Structure 1
Amino acid sequence: MKKLLFIFLVTFTSVTSAQNLIAKSADDITPLIIGKKIPNLTLKLSDNTDVNISELLKKKKTVLVFYRGGWCPYCNIHLQALADAEKQILDLGYQIIAVSPDSPENLKVTEEDDKLKYTLVSDSKGALIKAMGIAFEAPDNRKSVIYIKSDGLNTNFLPVPSVFVVNRESTILFEYVSPDYKRRLKTEILIPVLKNLK
Structure 2
Amino acid sequence: MKLQDKLDAMREDFESGRFPLVPTRDQLDTMQRATRLLADSGQADCALKAGDTAPDFSLEDADGNSVDSRALLARGPLVATFYRGVWCPYCNYDLQALEEIRPAIEEHGASLVAISPQTPANCRKSQRDNKLGFPILSDAGTAVAAEFGLRFSLPDDLIEVYRQFGNDLQRINDDPAWVLPMPARYVIGTDGVIAYAEVNPDYTRRPDPSDLLPVLDRLRAGYPA
Q: Same fold per TM (> 0.5)?
A: yes
**Alpha-carbon distance in 1 for matches of 2:177, 2:162:** 9
Tell me which residue corresponds to 1:3.
Answer: none
Tell me which residue corresponds to 2:42.
Answer: 28
8 Å Cα contact 2:188-2:194 kept in structure 1: yes
Q: Which shows bigger deviation, 140-149 or 60-69?
A: 140-149
> Structure 1 residue aligned with 2:77, among 57, 61, 65?
61
**Alpha-carbon distance in 2 for matches of 1:117, 1:148:** 26
Q: Residue 148 in 1 paired to residue 161 in 2? A: no
Tell me which residue corresponds to 1:81.
Answer: 97
Q: Residue 180 in 1 paired to residue 202 in 2? A: yes
Deviations 1:156-179 (A, max 9, x none): 211111111001232101111111
**Alpha-carbon distance in 1 for matches of 2:97, 2:176:** 27
Tell me which residue corresponds to 1:39.
Answer: 55
**Alpha-carbon distance in 2 for matches of 1:142, 1:62:** 32
Deviation, 1:115, is 1.0
For 1:28, the aligned partner's letter is G
Q: TM-score, normalised by structure 1?
A: 0.80
8 Å Cα contact 2:73-2:189 kept in structure 1: yes
8 Å Cα contact 2:75-2:109 kept in structure 1: no
Tell me which residue corresponds to 2:87.
Answer: 71
Dislocated runs of 4+, deviation >6 Å: none
> Structure 1 residue aligned with 2:129, among 113, 136, 159?
113
- Flag structure 2 segments of 5+ consecutive residues without an equivalent: 1-36, 221-225
Q: Which shows bigger deviation, 188-197 or 70-79?
A: 188-197
Tell me which residue corresponds to 1:18.
Answer: none
Give the paired residue count.
Answer: 174
- Flag structure 1 segments of 5+ consecutive residues without an equivalent: 1-23
Deviation, 1:63, is 1.0
Tell me which residue corresponds to 2:183.
Answer: 161
Deviation, 1:89, is 1.2
Deviation, 1:58, is 2.7
Aligned-partner SS, 2:198: strand
Tell me which residue corresponds to 2:138.
Answer: 122
For 1:149, the aligned partner's letter is I
For 1:119, the aligned partner's letter is P
**Alpha-carbon distance in 1 for matches of 2:189, 2:176:** 29
For 1:188, the aligned partner's letter is S
**Alpha-carbon distance in 2 for matches of 1:130, 1:92:** 29
**Alpha-carbon distance in 2 for matches of 1:125, 1:50:** 17
Aligned-partner SS, 1:163: strand
For 2:198, the aligned partner's letter is Y
Q: Give me the CA root mean square deviation.
A: 1.9
Deviations 1:37-65 (A, max 9, x none): 22123322111233333223333211111
Q: Please identify which structure carries the higher strand content.
A: 1
Question: Measured at CA, do residues 55 and 106 of structure 1 come closer, stay the same or move farther in structure 2, by a change above 3 Å?
Answer: same
Deviation, 1:154, is 5.2
Deviation, 1:149, is 1.2
